[in-house]
Amino acid sequence: MELKQVIIAYKARDSQSKRWAEICAKQLENRQCQVLIGPSGPKDNPYPVFLASAPQQIDLAVVLGGDGTVLTGARHLAPAGIPILGVNVGGHLGFLTESVEEFQDTEQVWERLLEDRYAIQRRMMLQAAVFEGHGSNLEPITERYLALNEMCVKPASADRMITSILEMEIDGEVVDQYVGDGLIMATPTGSTGYTVSANGPIMHDGMEAITITPICPMSLSSRPLILPPGSVVSIWPLGDYDLSTKLWTDGVLATSIWPGHRVDVRMADCRAKFIILRENNSYYQTLREKLLWAGTRVRYSSTNHAN
């Protein structure tokens, strides 16, 4: 990998991630690398400026923060094919990031990248757009939205909890109507996020599939579904008298959806590229540690079963 043009995004209003960003920027500039640096948060989006003002191709994006900061970066950087090195500085779970311990010797990190001593993991994303009317209408009325974790259709109201009524089609065929808090369409990466909180399945992040999980449905027969990656999921809001239904991407509000509109969700034509520094990267170890499964909480003196 070349390191001629690098962008660094750090978690907004977090002094630790900002300090790490400044250290990284200084080291890279000492290596004759051009660096663009800025905060990323709910009120700060540096990526349009990064992408528009970079004088040459961007070789790397260093994202310092938690999973939320990395999700924002992935939505903006995946279409441009820019690899992301995410580091858990100031975050919590850190499913998508390298631990800060792997990042302590930053000078060694730059050497490893220059010598191609790393792995790249490509992760499936979802894209969605809003259309008017029947499925034969293929002209969207909104921009294309991207998500690395999930697309969610559910209502939002400042003064009360609203029950949604949603009709779902898969590949043009009506499958079910859901009465409840909403629907989650997730990638394998997102299966350990909002989806798992709604009792959806956990899928290995090396797979390509779409999971549909109802949120608190009022019918016991409403169950999660796992679909092939080429499926197109269409959702219509029904009986939305308050005009409160929204489309959310990775937990961020994308747009409002009114009766007569439909949301089409499908696999995106781009993938997020993550740089992996861990030499023995294990998906199952990550699950054990992040979800506090047995084996991380209880330590036994005898491990004969593993010998």
User: DSSP assignment of 123-192, as one string?
Assistant: EEEEEEEEEESSTT----SS--EEESSEEEEEE--SSS---EEEEEEETTEEEEEEEESEEEEE-TGGGG
Predicted pLDDT at 300: 57
∠ at Cα 243 (240, 248), nearest 5°? 100
CB 65 within 8 A of CB 40: yes
Would you place residue 226 in the very low, low, confident or very high pLDDT band (cuts 50, 70, 90)? very high
How far is it, in rounded angstroms, from Cα 250 to Cα 47? 17
Predicted pLDDT at 37: 97
Q: Which secondary-structure segment (H or E) carries 284?
A: helix 283-291
Q: Is 219 helix (H, G, I), strand (E, B) or coil?
A: coil
In this model, does residue 299 exceed pLDDT 80? no
Q: Which of 93-97, 98-102, 119-123 has the highest mean pLDDT?
A: 119-123
Q: Which secondary-structure segment (H or E) carries 265?
A: strand 261-276
Angle between helices 15-30 and 106-114 (to 10 degrees): 50
Query: Would you name the residues annotated as active-site residues?
Result: 67
Q: Is 258 helix (H, G, I), strand (E, B) or coil?
A: coil
Total-model pTM: 0.91
In this model, does residue 74 exceed pLDDT 90? yes
Q: For residue range 235-247, list pLDDT tens digits in order.
A: 999 988 888 999 9
Q: For residue range 176-221, list pLDDT tens digits in order.
A: 999 999 999 999 999 999 999 999 999 999 999 999 999 999 998 9
In the numeric block, which tokens belong to residue 268? Answer: 């995106």
Give the pLDDT mean for 256-276: 96
Torsion of CA 279, 283, 288, 291, to 10 degrees: 120
Q: Is 103 helix (H, G, I), strand (E, B) or coil?
A: helix
